[in-house]
Amino acid sequence: MAGTTPRIGDKAPDFNLPDAKGEMLSLASLRGNWLVLYFYPKDDTPGCTKEACSFRDDLHALEKLGAKVVGVSVDDSSSHAEFAKKYHLPFPLLSDKNGAVASKYGALTNLGLVKIAKRYTFLIDPDGVLRKSYLSVDTSRHSQEIIDDLSALQQIKS
């Protein structure tokens, strides 16, 4: 059963997952930067490809705002490696094989024998606090929406 989605202002649930190369990446290792943590259902499917490529295309704008992008799905590291190579994705894709991290974020759909991540995104501040949740994502404009929200959040904080 999926957990509940963390609330704005909560500490973001920690994670430590392997990327496409099998190297571990944790929330703690990303502290000090804004983090766009996005969950997606499946590598190399139309909606997931559109979303990933939008993040790729907007990565420079996101990085200028001090943000890192990290994708998470229940696909394995080798699937992530193929997906990243095919679409030249320059950010980490993490493998949450058993869905434990997706569950902590309320982003797991358990269909009995099959588990998939919901298309949820979380904007986490440099201190590891959840600042914005996106539980209904339009893949064609999602990365721009995050850029706009991140700019607004940074103006509030400064």
Alpha-carbon gap, residue 3 to 100, rounded angstroms: 9
Residues near 128 by beta carbon (within 8 Å), at least 6 away in sequence: 11, 12, 27, 28, 31
Residue range of the domain that includes 98: 16-157
Q: Would residue 111 count as lying in a domain?
A: yes
CATH of the domain at 123: 3.40.30.10
pLDDT confidence of residue 158? 54
pTM: 0.94
Q: Would residue 2 count as lying in a domain?
A: no
Q: Would residue 7 count as lying in a domain?
A: no
Q: Residues 25-64: pLDDT tens digits?
A: 999 999 999 999 999 999 999 999 999 999 999 999 999 9
Q: Would residue 36 count as lying in a domain?
A: yes
Q: Would residue 21 count as lying in a domain?
A: yes
Alpha-carbon gap, residue 140 to 65, rounded angstroms: 20
Q: Which of 20, 37, 48, 72 is catalytic?
A: 48
Mean pLDDT over residues 59-82, rounded?
Answer: 96
CA–centroid distance for 104 within its chain: 13
Q: Residues 101-131: pLDDT tens digits?
A: 999 999 999 887 888 999 999 999 999 999 9
pLDDT confidence of residue 112? 77
Q: Would the CA dihedral through 149, 126, 130, 63 be positive or negative?
A: positive
Mean pLDDT of the chain: 93
Residue 10 has pLDDT above 80, yes or no: yes
Q: Would residue 85 count as lying in a domain?
A: yes
For residue 38, give both structure tokens. Answer: 């996005």
Domain count, the chain: 1
Per the annotation, the verdict on 53 as an active-site residue is no
- Which residue has better confidence, 95 or 4? 95
Angle of helix 77-87 relative to helix 46-57, nearest 10 degrees, comes to: 60
